């Protein structure tokens, strides 16, 4: 009954087929008798037909529901008046305006897909986005049907003293058999994907927020009682996010109560249900002993993200799921800007771009590539992607860049004014931006419909006689599935020109605007364009795509000399970092090409690193960014055929060379950056740099093993403890079984820390890792039903290049076998785990064959889920 949707002939949903709903739901009243084994859901829907002329049947979505009763306006509906179909309840002759009452039975304890209502670790939890509500009751499960919800929850009081749902708590009481009930009503009409309920034995951390207009909002974070001391960061981030949205967007919170619940069993990061956010505990719980600085950062950004959804997502919601980026891209942009304002803007931007390049660029270049607004899908859960989220955020950022902050804000104000309470489209968003500013964003629409990452080639020419500099930018893009031809996109290229002495030069040219400004945004909106800069007294060095002003790959035809110049002179923090990365990348690619390890540091890279290492004034977090080598994956992305082993060897050799070339500086940093633990940004930057120093020292000098062990033992915080642990476990040939046992022993009561224990072992670039992973599947702490645990072991293994891509195919076969098993339990997670296999075209012929074989074996599986089926079908096309 509870089994996830499995359909033999997958149905493709097309954006063009959108039709407005023929019925609206004026009100929903739910009465839910919670029981892990058999929960009964009574739903009273007040339904109203939209058009007099229409006499079609009414189709309500429903999956895995056992229908016990059905009534129309109080009368039991005769059998010939309705029909049950796969995934639906059809009312054959519905009146124009009526109350439908259904009673269904579901089995939360058997819901391992974690979509709909499930029971895990003693708690009832819901996840309704995208289409989970139909697994709770029969409904018009689509985002453009907005209704007012009232819910009465009943449960056994002992194990479930806390009963939560959206909106306002209206009443509560006791009933027979040790049960109790609570009534909730949400005054804001909402689509059912924003419905939520939680029942369990939870403690609560309370605080307040006073809105700009003076309303008191109760803030409540619900966690298991032993975690009450681990909510400070979440609460603080929430209050800061609320203040930020008032300050930057003029948006206040709108209910009297804002609740957050943390659960260990959750498919995604978090969910913005109206007034009742549900979070993966990873993004709520933190104490210095158990959470790293990165964990603290993640909490801040996800708490803010879900809060910001209250306006971008909830108050203004989606017409259909193709518009997903309307809320996700926009909300990611908002949370990135929040984090940039709260921390270091430069470091934030570098991290955002690193994530975009690590996840979205490969997606956009592979068989799963799709536009930010897709045209078709089989399973919508497969479209919660880096493209919809991160590239979507980049598109919003470009609009922000070309309009400017003030005009962007006017556009947002108009968007909210026009569409509050509505379910709208990306088109409506762009129209509001245009309406408020008088700007024409017609060309920008292509960013939403065209997939693939454009490549921008830049070429500059200096004419000393004319004192002119001409810059030519040319764009192209490779075909993506279903889109063989690509049209030119509008690409804002923020740029500056530097004099050889390192000064940004005044920019003068034909389209003079504000004479003498030293930074300009060039709008490349044709295949090729040339800009002429005049009165250029010396040959300039261009700094292009500053702040990563567009999600493109930039090819600059640059030599290392220019890179080294920008690495020391560029005053744009992103481009300075980019220049350093470029130097390191060239060193790595050259080493791979000549199949030697990068045993020697190229002179220019050496000089650039030396300058950063000796710059004690620089923010330590930024310094750490500059000194970190591009990831193996990023290096692979730059190669025609990814040479897994070559990349790993070259990068390791370069790390060793960097360690020994600057041994003294690293050692000095390591000693001088030791401070007692504190939770501020400067301190976390110091920890980051110090742990990077230790990594380089250990790479080049085995005697640092003892020092690393000492740090592991003595650290007063998880960042330092885990950094040492990870270095030890990733040592190619050290015996660290004592450390592994010790770590487990210490932290076994802390699931989020044990996730790290699994993840670090599965990411070790060691020959024995696959055997280890195989063994870990049998470990008592491994649990197929906990997505965090599954991702820790199997997600990490799939991302471990040298192990996953072992030449004999053992990594592929291993992962495929686990996906096959997982697909029976949790198709959403199974489908996601398959993405590394989908990238087969990027490897050599032998690996291609083995990867395809693994995919084909999986595709032959009986009872394949729609989720996994779609990923496999597209990957094998
Ligand atoms: N809307 C959530 C967010 O803020 C993501 C929920 C996605 N869940 C899913 N099962 N697809 O990002
Ligand atoms: Zn979101």
Residue 59: exposed, middle, or buried by beta-carbon count in 10 A (0-12, 13-18, 19+)? middle
381 lines ligand 1 (CB under 6 A): yes
* Mutate-to-test residue for ligand 1 from 192, 194, 271, highest number of ligand atoms within 8 A of CB: 271
Distance, in Å, from the CA atom of 342 to the CA atom of 340, rounded to the nearest integer, reads 6
pTM of the full structure: 0.98
Does the C-beta of 272 come closer than 6 Å to ligand 1?
yes
pLDDT of amino acid 393: 99
Among 306, 363, 632, 870, the active-site one is 306
Q: Locate the ligand 1 atom nearest the alpha carbon of residue 127 and give its number.
A: 10
DSSP helix/strand/coil, 605: helix
Q: Which residues sit with Cβ closer than 5 angstroms to ligand 2, an ion?
A: 328, 331
Q: Whose Cα sits closest to atom 3 in ligand 1? A: 271
Q: Is 306 a catalytic residue?
A: yes
Predicted local confidence at residue 570, as pLDDT: 97
Residue 321, CB half-sphere, CA atoms under 13 Å: how many? 19
| Dihedral sign computed on CA atoms, order 161, 165, 169, 171 | negative
Residue 732 has a CB neighbour count (10 Å cut-off) of: 9
163 in Cβ contact with 180 (< 8 Å): yes
* Residue 129 CB less than 6 A away from ligand 1: yes
Tens of pLDDT, residues 686-736: 999 999 999 999 999 999 999 999 999 999 999 999 999 999 999 998 899
Atom of ligand 1 at shortest range from CA of 302: 4
Task: Please state, in angstroms and rounded to a whole number, the distance separating the CA atoms of residues 506 and 515.
Answer: 8
388 CB less than 6 Å from ligand 1?
Answer: no
268 CB within 6 A, ligand 1 = yes
CB of residue 267 inside a 6 A radius of ligand 1: yes
Residue 215: name the closest of 255, 160, 166 by CA.
255
For ligand 1, mutation pick of 268, 270, 377 (most atoms within 8 Å of CB): 268
H or E element that contains 603: helix 603-614
Q: Does the beta carbon of 794 sit less than 6 angstroms from any atom of ligand 1?
A: no
Identify which of 130, 302, 384 to mutate to test ligand 1's pocket (most ligand atoms within 8 A of the CB): 384
Q: Which atom of ligand 1 is nearest to the CA of 380?
A: 11
Instruction: Give distance in angstroms: CA of 305 to centre of ligand 1.
Output: 11
CA of 330 to the centre of ligand 1 (A): 14
Report which bound ligand comes closest to the CA of 831.
Answer: 1
Please work out whether the CB of residue 302 comes within 6 Å of at least one atom of ligand 1: no
Q: Is the CB of 271 under 6 A from ligand 1?
A: yes
> What pLDDT score was predicted for residue 1?
40
Sequence-distant (≥ 6) Cβ neighbours of residue 763 within 8 angstroms: 730, 796, 797, 799, 800
pLDDT digits (tens, 9 = 90+) for 203-247: 999 999 999 999 999 999 999 999 999 999 999 999 999 999 999
Give CA–CA dist 179/181, Å, rounded: 7
Ligand closest to CA 329: 2
How many angstroms is it from 331 CA to the middle of ligand 2?
6
Confirm or reject: Cβ of 335 under 6 Å from ligand 1.
Answer: no
pLDDT in tens, 139-157: 999 999 999 999 999 999 9
Could you tell me if the CB of 782 is within 6 A of ligand 1? Answer: no
DSSP string computed for 702-715: TTHHHHHHHHHHH-
Spans in the chain with pLDDT lower than 50:
1-2, 514-515
521 alpha carbon to ligand 2 midpoint, in Å? 30
Looking from the CA of 393 toward its CB, the CA atoms found within 13 Å total 20
Question: What is the reported pLDDT for 733?
Answer: 86
Tell me the per-residue pLDDT of 809-863, one tens digit each, with 9 for 90 and over.
Answer: 999 999 999 999 999 999 999 999 999 999 999 999 999 999 999 999 999 999 9
- DSSP secondary structure letters along 523-577: EE-SSEEEEEE-S--S--EEEESTT--SSSEEE----HHHHHHHHHH--SHHHHH
The answer to whether ipTM exceeds 0.90 is yes
| Ligand 1 centre distance from Cα of residue 695 (Å) | 36
Nearest-atom number in ligand 1 for the CA of 331 is 4
The residue whose CB lies within 8 Å of the most ligand 1 atoms, and thus the one to mutate among 4, 5, 129, is 129
The alpha carbon of 309 and the centre of ligand 2 are apart by a number of angstroms equal to 7
Q: 631: which DSSP letter?
A: P
Which residues have C-beta within 8 Å of that of residue 410, sequence separation ≥ 6?
A: 436, 437
How deeply is 258 buried, as exposed, middle or buried, from its count of CB atoms within 10 A (0-12, 13-18, 19+)? buried
The DSSP secondary structure of 20-44, one letter per residue, reads --SEEEEEEEEEEE--SS-EEEEEE
279 forms bridges with which residues in the sheet? 262, 270
130 lines ligand 1 (CB under 6 A): yes
Q: Which structure tokens are listed for 188? A: 């804001």
Sheet with 528-533, edge to edge strand ranges: 528-533, 468-476, 455-463, 553-555
């Amino acid at each position: 009954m509870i089994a996830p949707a499995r359909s033999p002939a997958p149905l493709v949903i097309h954006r063009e087929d959108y039709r407005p709903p023929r019925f609206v739901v004026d009100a929903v009243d739910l009465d839910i008798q919670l029981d892990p084994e058999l929960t009964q859901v009574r739903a009273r829907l007040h339904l109203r037909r939209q058009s007099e002329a229409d006499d079609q049947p009414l189709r309500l979505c429903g999956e895995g529901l056992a229908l016990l009763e059905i009534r129309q306006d109080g009368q039991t509906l005769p059998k010939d008046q309705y029909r049950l179909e796969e995934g639906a309840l059809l009312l054959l002759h519905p009146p124009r305006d009526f109350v439908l009452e259904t009673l269904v039975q579901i089995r939360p304890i058997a819901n391992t897909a974690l979509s709909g209502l499930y029971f895990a670790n003693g708690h009832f939890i819901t996840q309704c986005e995208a289409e989970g509500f139909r697994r709770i009751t029969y409904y018009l499960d689509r985002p453009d049907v907005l209704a007012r919800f009232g819910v009465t929850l009943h449960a056994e009081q002992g194990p479930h003293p806390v009963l939560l749902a959206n909106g306002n708590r209206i009443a509560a009481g006791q009933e027979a058999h040790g049960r109790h009930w609570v009534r909730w009503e949400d005054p804001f009409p909402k689509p059912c994907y924003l419905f939520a309920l939680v029942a369990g034995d939870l403690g609560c951390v309370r605080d307040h927020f006073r809105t700009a207009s003076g309303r008191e909002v109760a803030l409540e974070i619900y966690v298991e009682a032993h975690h009450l001391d681990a909510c400070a960061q979440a609460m603080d981030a929430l209050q800061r996010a609320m203040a930020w949205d008032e300050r930057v967007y003029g948006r206040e919170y709108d209910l009297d109560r804002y609740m957050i619940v943390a659960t260990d069993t959750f498919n995604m990061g978090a969910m913005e249900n109206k007034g009742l956010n549900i979070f993966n505990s990873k993004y709520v719980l933190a104490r210095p002993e158990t959470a790293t600085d990165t964990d603290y950062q993640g909490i801040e950004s996800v708490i803010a993200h879900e809060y910001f959804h209250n306006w971008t997502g909830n108050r203004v919601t989606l017409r259909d799921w193709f518009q997903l980026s309307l809320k996700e891209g926009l909300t990611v942009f908002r949370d990135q800007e929040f984090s940039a304002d709260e921390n270091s803007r430069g470091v934030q931007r570098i991290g955002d771009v690193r994530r975009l390049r690590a996840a979205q660029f490969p997606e956009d270049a592979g068989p799963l590539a799709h536009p930010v607004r897709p045209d078709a899908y089989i399973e919508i859960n497969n479209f919660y992607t880096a493209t919809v989220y991160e590239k979507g955020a980049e598109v919003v950022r470009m609009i922000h860049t070309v309009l400017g902050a003030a005009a962007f804000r006017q556009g947002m104000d108009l968007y909210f004014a026009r569409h509050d309470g509505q379910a709208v489209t990306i088109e409506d968003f762009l129209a509001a931006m245009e309406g408020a500013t008088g700007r024409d964003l017609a060309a920008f629409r292509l960013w939403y419909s065209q997939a693939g990452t454009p490549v921008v080639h830049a070429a500059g020419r200096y004419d000393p006689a004319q004192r002119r500099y001409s810059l030519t930018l040319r764009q192209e893009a490779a075909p993506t599935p279903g889109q063989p031809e690509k049209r030119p996109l509008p690409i804002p290229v923020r740029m500056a020109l530097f004099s050889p002495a390192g000064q940004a030069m005044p920019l003068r040219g034909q389209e003079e605007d504000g004479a003498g400004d030293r930074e300009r945004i060039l709008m490349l909106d044709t295949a090729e364009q040339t800009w002429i800069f005049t009165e250029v007294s010396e040959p300039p060095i261009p700094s292009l795509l500053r702040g990563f002003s567009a999600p493109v790959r930039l090819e600059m035809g640059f030599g290392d000399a220019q890179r080294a110049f920008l690495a020391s002179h560029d005053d744009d923090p992103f481009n300075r970092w980019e220049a350093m990365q470029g130097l390191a990348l060239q060193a790595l690619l050259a080493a791979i090409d000549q199949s030697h390890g990068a045993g020697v540091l190229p002179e220019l890279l050496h000089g650039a690193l030396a300058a950063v290492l000796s710059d004690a004034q620089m923010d330590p977090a930024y310094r750490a960014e500059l000194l970190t080598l591009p990831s193996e994956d990023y290096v692979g992305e730059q190669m025609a055929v990814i040479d897994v082993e070559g990349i790993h060897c070259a990068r390791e050799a370069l790390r060793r060379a960097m360690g020994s070339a600057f041994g003294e500086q690293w050692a000095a940093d390591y000693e001088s950056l030791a401070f007692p633990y504190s939770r501020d940004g400067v301190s976390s930057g110091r920890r980051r740099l110090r742990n990077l120093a230790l990594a380089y020292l250990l790479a080049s000098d085995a005697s640092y093993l003892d020092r690393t062990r000492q740090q592991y033992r003595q650290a007063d915080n998880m960042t330092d403890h885990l950094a040492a642990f990870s270095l030890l476990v990733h040592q190619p040939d050290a015996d660290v079984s004592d450390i592994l046992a010790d770590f487990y022993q210490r932290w076994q009561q802390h699931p989020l820390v044990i996730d790290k224990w699994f993840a670090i072992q599965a990411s070790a670039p060691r020959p024995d890792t696959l055997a280890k992973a195989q063994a870990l599947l049998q470990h008592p702490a491994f649990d197929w039903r906990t997505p965090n645990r599954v991702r820790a072991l199997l997600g990490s293994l799939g991302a471990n290049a040298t192990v996953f891509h072992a030449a004999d195919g053992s990594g592929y076969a291993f992962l495929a076998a686990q996906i096959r098993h997982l697909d029976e339990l949790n198709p959403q997670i199974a489908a996601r785990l398959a993405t590394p296999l989908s990238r087969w075209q990027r490897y050599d012929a032998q690996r291609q064959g083995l990867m395809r074989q693994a995919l084909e074996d999986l595709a032959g599986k009986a009872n394949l889920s729609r989720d996994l089926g779609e990923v496999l079908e597209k990957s094998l096309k």
